Amino acid sequence: MSPRKTRLGPQRHLLFYFLAVAVALVGVMLWLGWKLVRQDKELAAQRLQERRESATDLAVVALKKSLSLIEERMTRLASLAPAEQRRQAAADVTTLPDDCALILFRPDVAEAFPDVKLPFYPTVPSEVGPSASLFAEAERLEFRQSDSAGAVAALRDPAHSSDPRIRAGALVRMARNYRKLGRWGEALAAYEELAAIKDVRIETLPADLIALQARLRIFEQTNRVEAAKQDAVLLQNGLRERRWRLTRGAYEFHAAEAQRILGQAEQPPADGETLALASATETLYKEWRRNLPAAGNRILWESNQPLLAVWRQANDGLTLLLLGRRWLEAQLEESRGFSFAKQGIVVVLTDADGRSVVGRPASGPQRQTVRLAAETQLPWNVHAVATDPDTVLAPARTRQRILVTAIWLISALILAGAYLVGRAVTREMAVSRLQSEFVSSVSHEFRTPLSSLCLLSDLLASGRVASDADRDAYYGVLVRESRKLRRLVEGLLNFGRMEAGAMQYRFETVDPAELVRELAADFQREVEASDFRLEMTAAKDTPLVSADPTVLGSAVWNLLDNAVKYSPECRQVWIDVLKEDGRAVIRVRDRGLGIPASERKRIFEKFTRGEAARQGGIEGAGVGLAMVHSIMAAHGGEVRLESEPGRGSTFTLSLPGVR
Ligand code: ADP
């Protein structure tokens, strides 16, 4: 197993395990979250469905109740006899919405309640006019002899009769003859008189309506446009106020006449709703005359308006109630059916053919609930439609969004947490491993000088030294090795202080060239034995610096020591002192192993050694450069490194000048 593998293997695994557990956790969370979101969605849809179901049921119950109440009342009303009592009771019926009406039929009589309701009726009272013999002479003169003046004279007496029917008959004929004679003024006067006679019909038409219509014609004939318009307004108002009880034909004719004279811009005298009521009345009347069940209800479509017809036959009459959309809406509103509107649900009614009676049904089955007429025995299909399922489901969506965000957040936190914890643990382990390596390296470094010291001291003490020259050489080695040992111990002590932040610096103004010169001389002596040469250059203008000379010296010594240690082939190292941008620079160069780019940053960390150093079995504890780095930081300076593997390295210390 390679050393690198030994160094990183277990820690890499550890980080991997941490991350694997975190990923598994996140996976489980995402799965649970997804399940939860899906369930929540289903629940929201189900709740919407339930709401629709209960809205439909509520509406069905309310409609059934209203309908049975109506039917009960109708039965009671229809059972009243005689007809007069029925009329009385119908008149007392509480107010119905505008698009509803109660109609009582007796053979040849149809009456609506409220009485101003219908613009026309299926049957109107027809009056038998006065005996034809009364006007026989006048008509003979008028038609056989074309003697209109004679006819007028013959009609004068009856025109003053006290019987309004005779008077009306005479005035109509007189006015007609005046028109034939072109005596417009007298014709108009006769019509005026006729118009004043109320409650008299000539056949099926009211006398005053005949007078009004005839005057209109005269005004048109004589080009009196304004007067014609005035009368057309009167005619239209009369129709609007339901002043006359008319058949459909008469109503439509007069309404069209008024409209023709007044122009299309004028509102017709009856709206779609009332026309629908009148048409429905007519339809039911006709059916009643032919064959109609004794009791029942049915939806009728008249003028595109849906009307619910409820009827009862009794006592020779038919009692009919026509109920329009507004009544239905009121019933639904009274039920809680419409309060669902707030929750985005509306109740919709359609007839058996699917035509919408109230509201609009939805296009897809998934958005509505239906109770068919066949199952509820109501005349309508009842639907509950979700108008905007998106808004109804909005709270659920928000909930889901929050949940998803929370899950993602927690997942991210778990992953980040696992990574950080894993990395911290890995680092701690690396540090503790490096520390133990450090202890063994330091022990190793101590052992070499200590063994030399012991060996030489033993030799000297035993007196077995051959010559004085040898003794001197041994003493020299003793001095060098003990200095080395002292430097080692001091270095380690200083490192301990720096780590603890307890290092005491004694700053003074120092000439870096001078400091390096002395140091270089010492160092040269130190490495002479191993054939190393140190070459020094110093620029004259190097600025002075504020530094602790001992500590700064130890940093330079460390660099020189490394330069020698990591130069297995080239036996020369260089040290230059110079000025650069007003700063003092000390540069230590070697042509040794060099440092790969990947290690250039890390080697300044404590206990970190390069790969080449380890593999080459070069002694060291991995604290030298860490110390250089913190010494430079304490001096307000910096350390830089340029290196090329296999070609050597240059370490540069740069310090601010004090001058
Ligand atoms: P040590 O020398 O005791 O290992 P250092 O902190 O002094 O610790 O150096 C850290 C590492 O930097 C060394 O292990 C070595 O790999 C690399 N290094 C330092 N100086 C040099 C140099 N001059 N040439 C090549 N490598 C060096």
Concatenated DSSP letters of 321-338: EEE-HHHHHHHHHHSGGG
Average pLDDT, the chain: 88
Distance CA 309, CA 327 (A): 12
Mean of pLDDT values over 253-282 = 87
Place of tokens 């008319």: 246
Half-sphere exposure of 140 (CA within 13 A, CB side): 7
Handedness of CA 508, 511, 516, 518 (dihedral sign): negative
What pLDDT is recorded for position 79?
85
| Selection from 66, 319, 245, 94 nearest residue 309 by Cα | 319
Q: Is the pLDDT of residue 1 over 70?
A: no
CB 62 within 8 A of CB 332: yes
Neighbours of 377 (CB within 10 A): 9
Kindly give the distance from the C-alpha atom of residue 611 to the centroid of ligand 1, in angstroms, as a whole number.
10
Residue 420 Cα distances to 30, 413, 414, 416, angstroms = 21, 10, 10, 6
C-alpha atoms less than 13 angstroms from C-alpha of 589 in its C-beta half-sphere:
12
Highest mean pLDDT among 43-47, 70-74, 140-144, 196-200: 140-144
Burial of residue 57 (number of CB atoms within 10 Å: 0-12, 13-18, 19+):
middle
Q: Which residue has the higher pLDDT, 611 or 336?
A: 611
The lowest-confidence range among 19-33, 176-190, 227-241, 496-510 is 19-33
- For residue 656, the cross-strand partners are 583
Confidence grade of residue 6 (pLDDT, cut at 50, 70, 90): very low
Of the residues 534, 559, 595, 615, which should be mutated to test ligand 1's pocket, given the most ligand atoms within 8 Å of the CB? 595
Q: Is the pLDDT of residue 638 over 90?
A: yes
- Best residue among 484, 590, 603, 642 to mutate for probing ligand 1's pocket (most ligand atoms within 8 Å of CB) is 603
Among 212-226, 346-360, 509-523, which is the least confidently predicted range? 346-360
Q: How confident is the model at residue 332 (pLDDT cuts 50, 70, 90)?
A: confident
Please report the atom of ligand 1 found closest to the CA of residue 625: 6
The per-residue pLDDT for range 92-137, each reduced to its tens digit, is 765 778 888 888 888 878 888 877 678 999 988 777 778 778 899 9
Nearest residue (by CA) to ligand 1, atom 23, is 563
- The DSSP code for 141 is I
Ligand 1 mean position, distance from CA 486 (Å): 20
pLDDT of residue 365: 58
- Kindly state the tokens that stand for 313: 């036959």
8 has pLDDT over 50 = no
Q: What are phi and psi of 100, to 5 degrees?
A: -130, 155
High-pLDDT (> 70) share of the chain, %: 95
Residue whose tokens read 């009167």: 234
Q: How far does residue 243's CA lie from ligand 1's centre (Å)?
A: 120
Q: Confidence class of residue 55 from pLDDT cuts 50, 70 and 90?
A: confident
- Across the range 258-275, mean pLDDT stands at 83
Cα–Cα distance list, 609 to 4, 277, 485, 562, 624 (Å): 11, 105, 21, 12, 10
How many C-alpha atoms does 133 have within 13 Å on its Cβ side?
0
Q: Are 120 and 250 in contact (CB under 8 A)?
A: yes
Residues 172-227: tens digit of each pLDDT: 999 999 999 999 999 999 999 999 998 888 888 999 999 999 999 999 999 999 99
Residue whose Cα lies nearest atom 21 of ligand 1: it is: 562
Q: Which residue has the higher pLDDT, 48 or 277?
A: 277
Structure confidence at residue 367 (pLDDT): 72
- Phi, psi of 593, deg, nearest 5: -65, -30
Q: Whose CA is nearest to atom 25 of ligand 1?
A: 594
Cα–Cα distance between 281 and 284 in angstroms, integer?
5
Q: Which of 8-17, 208-217, 269-278, 391-400 has the highest mean pLDDT?
A: 208-217
pLDDT tens-place string over residues 139-155: 999 999 999 999 999 99
pLDDT exceeds 70 at position 389? no
Residue 648 Cα: closest atom of ligand 1: 24
**In whole angstroms, what is the distance from residue 323 CA to residue 331 CA?**
11
d(CA 100, CA 90): 13
| Confidence tier at 340 by pLDDT (50, 70, 90) | low
Residue 336 is predicted with a pLDDT of 59
Residue 537, phi-psi category: left (phi > 0), alpha (psi -120 to 50), beta (remainder): beta
Residue 601's pLDDT band (cuts 50, 70, 90): very high
* Contact yes or no for 404/398 (Cβ under 8 A): no
Can you list the alpha helix ranges (DSSP code H) found in 222-379? 225-240, 248-262, 272-290, 325-334, 373-376
Q: Whose C-alpha lies nearest to ligand 1, atom 20?
A: 562
- State in Å: Cα 495 to ligand 1 middle: 16
Indicate which atom in ligand 1 lies nearest the CA of residue 567: 24
> How many Å separate Cα 562 from the centre of its chain?
67
Ligand 1 centroid, distance to 619 Cα (angstroms): 10
3-state secondary structure of 537: strand
The pick from 562, 598, 642 for probing ligand 1's pocket by mutation, whose C-beta has the most ligand atoms within 8 angstroms, reads: 562
CA 459 to chain centre: 94
Q: Ligand 1: which residue has its CA nearest to atom 15? A: 610
* Ligand 1 centre distance from Cα of residue 527 (Å): 18
Distance 621 CA to ligand 1 centre (A): 9
Gap between the Cα atoms of 606 and 210, Å rounded? 123
* Neighbour-count burial of 42, counting CB atoms closer than 10 A to its CB (0-12 exposed, 13-18 middle, 19+ buried): exposed
Please tell me whether residue 190 adopts helix, strand or coil conformation.
helix
**Which residue's C-alpha comes closest to atom 16 of ligand 1?**
610
Percent of the chain exceeding pLDDT 90 equals 47
Q: Are the C-beta atoms of 634 and 504 separated by less than 8 Å?
A: no
> Could you tell me the distance, in angstroms and rounded to a whole number, from the CA of residue 640 to the centre of ligand 1?
14
Q: Distance between the two ends of the chain, CA-based, in angstroms?
A: 56
Rounded CA-CA distance 18/34 in Å is: 24
> Do 563 and 570 meet the contact criterion of CB atoms below 8 Å apart?
no
For residue 419, count other CB atoms closer than 10 A to its CB: 14
- Per DSSP bridges, beta strands 533-538 and 572-580 are parallel
Residue 121 C-alpha from the chain's centroid: 56
| Interval 446-475 mean pLDDT | 89
Q: Calculate how far, in angstroms, residue 656's C-alpha sits from the geometric centre of ligand 1.
A: 25
- What is the 438 CA–ligand 1 centroid distance (Å)? 14
**Ligand 1 centroid from CA 625, angstroms:** 7
Q: Would you say 306 and 313 are in contact if contact means Cβ atoms under 8 Å apart?
A: no
Distance of alpha carbon 344 from the chain centroid: 16
Which residues does a 6 A CB cutoff place in the pocket of ligand 1? 558, 562-563, 566, 590, 592-593, 595, 603, 609-610, 612-613, 620-626, 649
Distance 561 CA to ligand 1 centre (A): 9
